[in-house]
Chain A
Amino acid sequence: MAKPRVALFITCLADQFFPQVGECVVKILRRLDVEVTFNPAQTCCGQPAFNTGYRDEARTVARRVLDLYDNADYVVAPSGSCSSMVRVFYPELFEHEPELLHKAQDLQKRFFEFSEFLVKVLKVEDVGARFSHRVTYHDSCHLLRELGVAEAPRQLLRKVQGLDLVEMGDYKLCCGFGGTFSVKFPEVSVPMGQDKIRTATDTGAEYLVAADGGCLMHLAGLIHRQGLPLKTMHLAELLATQEGR
């Protein structure tokens, strides 16, 4: 079988704040003998506008994405949120424009969140990572409930050498980020995040790992402001780690 051609969709958050997440995705995929491409014409998926109720603006941005990946077998994003924007909400956004809807439906079939892609498409669980720490996994809501991906990240984490995976009580509870919710309702978003940090800390974990930059930015921002010991990490970063090698 020819090498699958995978286009990396870097989320705008990762592009601006956590470019190492993208590098880790590339590293892991190349290790798995996948041909990785990146289209520098990409910017954002349009979700911030869509979730804030500005559908025309979201369409302007989303329309571009439909044309960027004609040559890729798969498109992979290190984010459950952007992936659900493309997979779940693009068809809704273009429901009245048949031509674009058709393109959206085609892209929908080829678009995957990173952990989901590894486990479901490449059928890989062990990516050769080593990380000797106690880790808890935070389900980002879009990945969990829009895409229904709960097991893939855990399967990958269980195969990491030395890693001790512990579950939080009430692990499905939202961390309170919620995109623009975090700035529109800071009075609610912040205490929700504090609850999440408390539950994660209660597990005795050193690291909270998640597959979405938004949740991580929110939680890390709270942790840093309060000077707490809990550390946060993107799943792709952890999976690229080969401690002791």
Chain B
Amino acid sequence: MDFSLYPLYFTLRNWHLTPLMADFDVHSNEIHQLGSETIANPRLAEAYRSSALRLFTHRLNAIGEVPGFERLRDLGREVKRHTIENLDYYLAQFADSVERNGGKVHWASTGSEVCRIVVDIVQESAAREVVKAKTMVGEEVELNRALEAAKIRAVETDLGEFIIQLAGERPAHIVAPAIHKTREQVSDLFAEHVDPQRTLVPEELTALARQALRKMFQTAGVGVSGANFAVAETGTVVTVENEGNIRLCTTVPRVHIALVGIEKLIPRLSDLGIFLRLLGRSGTGQKLTTYTSLLTGPRREREDGPQEMHVVMVDNGRTHSLTDPKMREMLYCIRCGACLNTCPVYRKIGGHAYGWVYSGPIGALVTPEFVGIGQARELPFASSLCGACREVCPVKINIPDLLLHLRSNAQEQAPKPSESLLPERLTFRMWAWVMSRPWAYALGSRFARWGQVVLARQGWIRKIPAYPASQWTRERDFPALAPQTFHERWKKL
């Protein structure tokens, strides 16, 4: 079969589909409300602050040990850039390789297609239970909900995912989904759902989860995983983890399904070394995670492993970014979470404030791109553009620059309903008009000085009634305009 046409097929279909996609449960435009709730909750705020800071520090220590880490980042970026620029070629090569190994490749352009493919495979295998390894694509397409609707029991086996599944929540962090949960909260959840004998000892809690999950691994007919990397040359799906649950999910059940975002490809097995070194250190500050699994086809004779291996290639908005030469860079992301840990905004408002499954700086790019700018138009603005994210990104994605690009898209395609009498765009048009005319600027300066007389007291203004300055003076004083501008004072210098 000739797979080389599939990427084109993706592009053509999604070109029209993306703006219409409505099957996402997105709350990203509620970020102000959701973020304020985190900030107002001292326990939650502290959990985010301290956990993010801990991961941030681990990363710093880990990269300090590697000579030439900068060079490694450049290499990683270059490999990703090359792959994304030639994605059609590598997708076809990967699909061929998977089939050659005896695996089966499925192509899904939307989330609901992913769900339908997985449900079909599970039903065909007559399985009633599915064990799931942590997969962000699975979160993205809401696979658990689809499985549930098909009366298939799905259990998350990553400890963090297990916790948030019990809590009925979405991941609060890309690599640490339960980053926001305290030991007490986990204890409460386990007492309710796993074992009524309450304990607060972390080791005992882990043991409880392990016991419950071991049984599931033995009985489940299907294991679903994501992929950290997909090697085009060999058709290998690579997963990294610390708990061993992914290895169990992908090897014990009779059927293994891997959900692979099409941007996960790397060309050769020899490229993997670059990314394993980057990912562990950037994500959790580990040289390598405890387990690295390279899954190449179903089991062969005299081997252990699944009898069937299915690889679902997922678009779900990715080719939309691929069509934009600027936003394409976002697809280099290897989902390490380093940008979340370093981000002062994420540390304050936490993961759930971003209103979908991806959070932090990368979430502010991914979400509007995948679900459409209208449903997430506030996210690109949820950044002080400080650039700390770019500084830690293992593949040097210029996140602030892409955020700026999305801001422009947001203003063009999904302007926000005005919060004042004067729409923002009109305000900036008038501003540009004034700023282009020195005489108007000088006149405006003069008028403003007359106008502020009623507001200013001893060089400060305590309250400005008009939006958006009113937002400033909610908790900050505003400096009064100087009696004379520099323009006026220059004449005497």
Q: Is the CB of A192 within 8 A of B348?
A: yes
- Mask, A14-26, CB within 8 Å of B = 1, is 1111111011001
With both beta carbons as reference points, the residue of chain B lying nearest to A11 in the complex is identified as B486
Q: Chain B residues near A42 (CB, 8 Å)? A: 438
Q: Chain A residues near B39 (CB, 8 Å)? A: 187-188, 191
Q: Is the CB of B460 within 8 A of A40?
A: no
If the complex has contacts A15-B485, A187-B39, are A145 and B475 also in contact, measured as CB distance less than 8 A?
no
Alpha-carbon gap, A178 to B391, bound state (A): 17
Partner of A190, one of B387, B476, B482: B476
| B123 contacts chain A at the CB level, 8 A cutoff | no
Q: Is the CB of B490 within 8 A of A185?
A: no
Q: Chain A residues near B412 (CB, 8 Å)? A: 53
Sorting the interface of chain B by its residue count into under 10, 10 to 19, 20 to 34 or 35 or more gives 35 or more
If the complex has contacts A38-B490, A176-B384, are A186 and B485 also in contact, measured as CB distance less than 8 A?
no
Q: Is the CB of A217 within 8 A of B404?
A: no
If the complex has contacts A16-B445, A52-B407, are A182 and B472 also in contact, measured as CB distance less than 8 A?
yes
| B418 contacts chain A at the CB level, 8 A cutoff | no
If the complex has contacts A141-B387, A181-B383, are A50 and B404 also in contact, measured as CB distance less than 8 A?
yes
Partner of A23, one of B434, B472, B493: B493
| B355 contacts chain A at the CB level, 8 A cutoff | no
- Mask, B391-425, CB within 8 Å of A = 1, is 10000000001001001111110000000000011
Partner of A55, one of B408, B436, B480, B485: B408
Q: Chain B residues near A222 (CB, 8 Å)? A: 475-476
| A72 contacts chain B at the CB level, 8 A cutoff | no
Partner of A181, one of B385, B469, B480, B487: B385
Contacts of A40-58 to chain B: CB distance below 8 A: 40-44, 46, 48-55, 57-58
If the complex has contacts A15-B487, A17-B482, are A54 and B435 also in contact, measured as CB distance less than 8 A?
no
Contacts of A154-194 to chain B: CB distance below 8 A: 172-174, 176-193
If the complex has contacts A16-B481, A26-B493, A40-B490, are A61 and B384 also in contact, measured as CB distance less than 8 A?
no
Q: Is the CB of B438 within 8 A of A40?
A: yes
| B302 contacts chain A at the CB level, 8 A cutoff | no
With both beta carbons as reference points, the residue of chain A lying nearest to B49 in the complex is identified as A195
Q: Is the CB of B382 within 8 A of A183?
A: no
| A220 contacts chain B at the CB level, 8 A cutoff | yes
Alpha-carbon gap, A185 to B39, bound state (A): 12
Q: Chain B residues near A16 (CB, 8 Å)? A: 445, 448, 481-482, 485
Q: Is the CB of B411 within 8 A of A52?
A: yes
Q: Is the CB of B35 within 8 A of A221?
A: no
Alpha-carbon gap, A184 to B419, bound state (A): 11
If the complex has contacts A183-B468, A188-B35, are A53 and B486 also in contact, measured as CB distance less than 8 A?
no
Instruction: Report how many residues on chain A are interfacial, defined by Cβ distance under 8 Å.
Output: 68
With both beta carbons as reference points, the residue of chain B lying nearest to A13 in the complex is identified as B479
Tell me the number of A-to-B contacts counted with CB atoms below 8 Å. Answer: 182
Q: Is the CB of A174 within 8 A of B384?
A: yes
Alpha-carbon gap, A220 to B480, bound state (A): 12
| A151 contacts chain B at the CB level, 8 A cutoff | no
Q: Is the CB of B385 within 8 A of A57?
A: no
Alpha-carbon gap, A54 to B482, bound state (A): 28
- Mask, B331-346, CB within 8 Å of A = 1, is 0000000000000110
Q: Is the CB of A43 within 8 A of B438?
A: yes
Alpha-carbon gap, A43 to B382, bound state (A): 28
With both beta carbons as reference points, the residue of chain A lying nearest to B440 in the complex is identified as A43
Alpha-carbon gap, A51 to B469, bound state (A): 17
Q: Is the CB of B404 within 8 A of A186?
A: no
**Residue of A12, A52, A192, A193 with most partner-chain B CB within 10 A:** A52
| B192 contacts chain A at the CB level, 8 A cutoff | no
Q: Is the CB of A61 within 8 A of B486?
A: no
Q: Return A147 CB to nearest CB of chain B, in Å.
A: 11
| B270 contacts chain A at the CB level, 8 A cutoff | no
Q: Return B255 CB to nearest CB of chain A, in Å.
A: 45
Partner of A225, one of B36, B382, B410, B475: B475
Q: Chain B residues near A70 (CB, 8 Å)? A: none
With both beta carbons as reference points, the residue of chain A lying nearest to B425 in the complex is identified as A54
| A224 contacts chain B at the CB level, 8 A cutoff | yes
Q: Is the CB of B476 within 8 A of A225?
A: yes
Q: Is the CB of A192 within 8 A of B479?
A: no
| A231 contacts chain B at the CB level, 8 A cutoff | no
Contacts of B462-493 to chain A: CB distance below 8 A: 462, 468-469, 471-472, 474-482, 484-490, 493
With both beta carbons as reference points, the residue of chain A lying nearest to B434 in the complex is identified as A43
Q: Is the CB of A52 within 8 A of B348?
A: no
Q: Chain B residues near A191 (CB, 8 Å)? A: 39, 348
Q: Chain A residues near B385 (CB, 8 Å)? A: 51, 141-142, 178-179, 181
Alpha-carbon gap, A225 to B460, bound state (A): 9
Q: Is the CB of B428 within 8 A of A57?
A: yes
Alpha-carbon gap, A16 to B479, bound state (A): 10
| B310 contacts chain A at the CB level, 8 A cutoff | no
Q: Is the CB of A57 within 8 A of B429?
A: yes
| A64 contacts chain B at the CB level, 8 A cutoff | yes
Q: Chain B residues near A43 (CB, 8 Å)? A: 434-436, 438, 441
Q: Chain B residues near A10 (CB, 8 Å)? A: 486-487
| A126 contacts chain B at the CB level, 8 A cutoff | no
| A92 contacts chain B at the CB level, 8 A cutoff | yes
With both beta carbons as reference points, the residue of chain A lying nearest to B415 in the complex is identified as A53
Alpha-carbon gap, A55 to B434, bound state (A): 16
Q: Is the CB of B475 within 8 A of A186?
A: yes
21 intermolecular pairs with C-beta atoms under 8 Å apart = A12-B435, A19-B482, A40-B490, A41-B438, A46-B435, A53-B412, A54-B432, A57-B432, A61-B435, A61-B436, A64-B435, A141-B388, A145-B387, A178-B385, A181-B384, A188-B35, A190-B474, A190-B475, A221-B478, A225-B475, A225-B477
User: Which residues from chain B sit less than 8 Å from chain A, CB to CB?
Assistant: 32, 35-36, 39, 344-345, 348-349, 380-388, 390-391, 401, 404, 407-412, 424-425, 428-429, 431-432, 434-436, 438, 441, 445, 448, 460, 462, 468-469, 471-472, 474-482, 484-490, 493
User: Which residues from chain A sit less than 8 Å from chain B, CB to CB?
Assistant: 10, 12, 14-20, 22-23, 26, 38, 40-44, 46, 48-55, 57-58, 60-61, 64, 89, 92, 141-142, 144-146, 172-174, 176-193, 195, 217-218, 220-222, 224-225
Given contacts A10-B487, A52-B411, A177-B384, 16 further A-B pairs with CB under 8 A are: A10-B486, A15-B486, A16-B445, A17-B480, A19-B489, A53-B381, A53-B408, A53-B412, A145-B391, A173-B344, A174-B344, A174-B384, A187-B36, A189-B384, A190-B476, A217-B479
* 9 A-B pairs with the lowest CB-CB distances in the bound complex, closest first: A178-B384, A53-B407, A174-B386, A221-B476, A145-B387, A53-B411, A19-B486, A141-B386, A57-B432
